[in-house]
Amino acid sequence: MSQWEFTGSDGTFRLERADEVRGVYFPLANEAGYMASICPDGGGDAKTDQNHFLMPPVSAIDLHNSRLKRTAWVCSPGREPWSVTGASHAQKSRRDEAHQIEAGLLWHRSVRSSASGEYEAEVLSFAPAGPETLEVSRIRLRNTGSTRLELSMLSVVPLYGRSADSLRDHRHVTALLNRVKVVERGVHLVPTMSFDERGHRRNDTVYSVLGRDSTGSAPVGAFPDLERFIGEAGDAEQPRVVFDAQYRAAERKTAGGRADGCEAIGALQFPAVSLSPGEDYSLYVISGVFPSTDHAEAAADRYCSPEGFSKAFAANRSFWAGKTAPVLCSVNDGRFEQWMRWVSVQPILRRIYGCSFLPYHDYGRGGRGWRDLWQDCLALLLMEPRDVRTLLLSNFAGVRFDGTNATIVGSEPGSFIADRNSIPRVWMDHGAWPVLTVKLYVDQSGDLGLLAEEQEYFSDSLWARASERIAETRTTQGAVYTGSVFEHMLLQQLSVFFNVGDHNGLRLEGADWNDGLDMAAEHGESVAFSSLYAANLLWLADAAERLEVEGRPLALADEILILLDRYTGATVNYNDPAAKRDRLRTFFETAKGGPSGTTTRVDASALAADLREKGNHLLRHIRETEWVESAGGDGWFNGYYDNRGQRVEGDAPGGPRMTLTGQVFSLLSGAATPKQVKSVIAAADRLLLDPAVGGYRLNTDFGEVKLDLGRCFGYAYGHKENGAMFSHMAVMYAYALFARGETAAASKVMQMMYRAAAAFERSRMYPGLPEYFDPDGRGLYCYLTGSASWYLLTVVTRMFGVRGSWGDLVLDPQLEAAQWNGGATVSVSTCFRGRQLRVEYANPANLDAGDYRVGAVLLNGSPVEFRRNAAGDAAGVTIPGTSLPESDSVITVRLDDARSGA
């Protein structure tokens, strides 16, 4: 099995015989909303949303099952037709052609040579970085033989032109709506209507395939009807139009022709040409989704020429290089550095695709979920922070006044949908992520003012954490209620804090981060996320006091004071779950008709004291009551209670039960003592670590289908949320270990993930991070995973230690000596306080983390004042953010021996 190799310094890679690997695909997309996938053999699909698929929708299984794929055919008298993507029956059966994939940031090139030695074909495809939703391909054929060739070429793009829902629902009936018009340069598919039994609508969307060749000639005709294209006894791998010249001549339609009520195809026949040995001939083909035929024709004018194609391709490469340029790391290891470029582009891809629309992501109807919205902002803060403040503020419009939130993000900032499938449910972790993201924003920017900004609340019929339906929530006067960002976050934490199960852990409800834990709504508890909420409460306490110091007093809706029991004096016994639930019900009943609209200015110190008592109570409870000792000599935290109210983790008759999630947030929040941290590491190494799958599994094998906890236990063990090496939680484990000073353990996690993903002979994936690795080490669900944001965040803010703290700059590296790879310096570039920083570390004594500390710091070549950090990260220093210049800067850091006492 070949291994992909980088060919330059910009992330471009090459892979031999990629067509022999099942299931690999590559994204072609742009920020205008074009979303496509392309495989080495031209497979994949393209769309702009759930209801507008240019090509037939595909799932991962279709990548090798479906015969309808992008290709082009070479027809030469006396020779068998040849597919530039290896699509013919004969080519597939022989498997004797040289084939290579080369790809860079959002462009894809396939190069294939015929077994006869006569042809070499290159197909170069990308989605231009502009306002159009289309892809552009140059199909270049070279005569590599020794004799002149007489030939013609026929390009093929499968067309679908409707909603993915119609794939199984009225597929034939919706084909009857199709109207395909043949024009000078190709075909326009314009269905008469959008089929929807809830109400059919007139269709104005145009699906087009247009082209010209390198001589400037238009096609001589087209074949718009799929069934007539393949013929009665043919198929897409041996279409009769291609293999029967007489039939081809009879079926070809010229400008003005049409095909009605059929499955469509964009098959364009180009003029016959004569190629001398060594001579090239190219087709320039666009395929896309357009608002009108005029828009499609204008796009063809722009791209279907050698000059237009080359200009667009250069612009596209420059655009995507610029997208990844703000975060670059240099560790004297070019392979890792370039691999990180692909990790950096993944959060951008998730903004475009959401969590749908790639072959493995064959669920949902587009859009991102609530959790994705906030976690994708983590990477944006390091890469493109300019618009993040506006984005964060708009995101809070999805929070309800009961502390829950809409779960699906609309197409525009600030627009939300209650639930993808119209199911009333609550993910208990959703309220935690906004605080985590806003904390990073404040740390990186110093902008506490965001917390004082006003935003409206999301209003629908769901109330009391989706347990009731009421009239939409507005003020009692009928106005839309608004509150500060701080109030939104506070309400999300308080609503969860009082919503506890019988073991005083926060209720699991519909699920937490692990969507597979969705069958314990009545009695399940998430101890894991109780830890994160505790940390959030403590941060909000600090933020309240800082807002007061900045002269930004806080006013809260009167109803929220019900949940601030320590502040008001109407105290609740936090060790009594029933009393806490009663207090929450009181709040729900009081605010049920909508908030009164009146607010009370609160004393920041008293509010902070209330929140700290709540946060510290949770941490003590977890530390003291959820720790489980194992017969193996170590221990870990129980992360869950099932729907029978039984503790999930610990020693069990079938073997120890442990989840990684239950440990991550206990470490990160500070619930775990230093001794417990060491024990968790030992237990995770003993029970969860599996180098064969790239690191730490999400859980041990429980050996049963736990219908009292979640659907994931019905999955085969080692897949997805049932014991896979799940990248997201694995990298969060590394982040938590770094945060607790366990550098060696954290670095091991990061290195194992990188090596597993980059070892193509096992991972079978292009550069980047997958959602998870299956039991064979294959990376699945590539490109659209939140783990990429967390990996990027961990590398920059923990491994290199370049991060903010309330707007001041912290330099606290946790790099191991080996990561200098023999070089004099390592460096990282990132955005901080709106400007670009490059931080370089010199380690002249070749010391490991724990043995060095920051010695000297130069800012643009001049010494800069700093203060040493507290005992927890004593190797690092803090530079006041206000001392940094407004322009981009270079910071040079020398690391000295911390053991010398100097």
- 8 Å CB contact between 359 and 25: yes
Residue 255's pLDDT band (cuts 50, 70, 90): very high
For residue 364, the model assigns a pLDDT of 75
CA distance 385 to 406: 25
CA distance 316 to 313: 5
Both structure tokens of 212 = 């010209």
Q: Average pLDDT of the chain?
A: 95
DSSP 393-461: HHHGGGB-TTS-B-SEE-SSTT-EES-TTS----BTTTTHHHHHHHHHHHHHH--GGGGG-EEEPP-SS
Closest CA to 541 of 490, 479, 577, 473: 490
Q: Of 381-385, 612-616, 622-626, give the lowest mean pLDDT range.
A: 381-385
Residues with Cβ within 8 Å of residue 760, at least 6 apart in sequence: 1, 2, 3, 4, 15
Residues in the chain: 902
Closest CA to 728 of 671, 798, 661: 661
Say whether 236 sits in a helix, a strand or coil: coil
Tell me what percent of the residues of the chain surpass a pLDDT of 90.
Answer: 89
The strand ranges marked E within 733-881 are 770-773, 779-782, 802-805, 808-811, 825-832, 835-842, 852-859, 862-863, 867-868, 877-879
Q: What is the DSSP letter of 795?
A: I
Q: Kindly tell me if the per-residue pLDDT of 317 is higher than 90.
A: yes
Say whether 772 sits in a helix, a strand or coil: strand
- 8 Å CB contact between 177 and 191: yes
Letter string b/e over residues 843-882, b meaning 16 or more CB atoms within 10 A of that residue's CB: beeebbbebbbbeebebeeeebebeebeeebebbbbbebe
Q: What is the DSSP letter of 847?
A: P
CA angle (127, 133, 134) in 5-degree steps:
50
- 8 Å CB contact between 469 and 539: no
Say whether 507 sits in a helix, a strand or coil: strand
**Is the Cα dihedral 794, 534, 385, 35 positive or negative?**
positive
CA distances in angstroms from 633 to 43, 93, 138, 656, 746, listed in the order given: 52, 57, 63, 12, 22
Q: Kindly tell me if the per-residue pLDDT of 491 is higher than 80.
A: yes
Mean pLDDT, residues 29-51 taken together:
97
Mean pLDDT, residues 630-637 taken together:
95
Closest CA to 126 of 269, 362, 288, 264: 288
- Between strands 280-290 and 862-863, the pairing is unpaired
For residue 413, the model assigns a pLDDT of 64
Say whether 150 sits in a helix, a strand or coil: strand
Residue 408's pLDDT band (cuts 50, 70, 90): confident
Q: Kindly tell me if the per-residue pLDDT of 650 is higher than 80.
A: yes
For residue 293, the model assigns a pLDDT of 98
Show contacts of 605-609: CB within 8 Å, 24+ apart.
605/545, 605/548, 606/567, 607/541, 607/544, 607/554, 607/564, 607/567, 608/541, 608/542, 608/544, 608/545, 609/541, 609/566, 609/567
Say whether 351 sits in a helix, a strand or coil: helix
The per-residue pLDDT for range 165-221, each reduced to its tens digit, is 988 889 999 999 999 999 999 999 999 998 877 778 899 999 999 999 999 999 999
For residue 366, the model assigns a pLDDT of 76
Q: Kindly tell me if the per-residue pLDDT of 902 is higher than 60.
A: no
CA distance 677 to 738: 12
Q: Kindly tell me if the per-residue pLDDT of 543 is higher than 60.
A: yes
CA distance 827 to 795: 11
Both structure tokens of 306 = 């050698």
The per-residue pLDDT for range 128-171, each reduced to its tens digit, is 999 999 999 999 999 999 999 999 999 999 999 999 998 888 99
- 8 Å CB contact between 595 and 577: no
Mean pLDDT, residues 568-594 taken together:
96
For residue 656, the model assigns a pLDDT of 97
- 8 Å CB contact between 352 and 414: no
* 3-state DSSP of 156-210: EEECCCECHHHHCCCHHHHHCCCEEEEECCEEEECCCEECCCCCCEECCCEEEEE
The per-residue pLDDT for range 844-856, each reduced to its tens digit, is 999 999 999 999 9
Mean pLDDT, residues 263-275 taken together:
98
For residue 899, the model assigns a pLDDT of 84
CA distance 570 to 562: 8
Query: How many CB atoms sit inside 10 A of residue 189's CB?
Result: 24
**Is the Cα dihedral 358, 362, 366, 372 positive or negative?**
negative
For residue 870, the model assigns a pLDDT of 77
Closest CA to 428 of 500, 346, 356: 500
For residue 479, the model assigns a pLDDT of 77
Query: How many CB atoms sit inside 10 A of residue 830's CB?
Result: 24
Residue type, 465: R
Q: Kindly tell me if the per-residue pLDDT of 558 is higher than 70.
A: yes
- 8 Å CB contact between 185 and 211: yes
Query: How many CB atoms sit inside 10 A of residue 825's CB?
Result: 16
Mean pLDDT, residues 703-726 taken together:
97
* 3-state DSSP of 549-592: HCCCCEEEEHHHHHHCHHHHCCCCCCCCHHHHHHHHHHHHHHHC
Residue 316's pLDDT band (cuts 50, 70, 90): very high
Higher pLDDT, 797 or 481: 797
For residue 827, the model assigns a pLDDT of 98
Tell me what percent of the residues of the chain surpass a pLDDT of 70.
Answer: 97
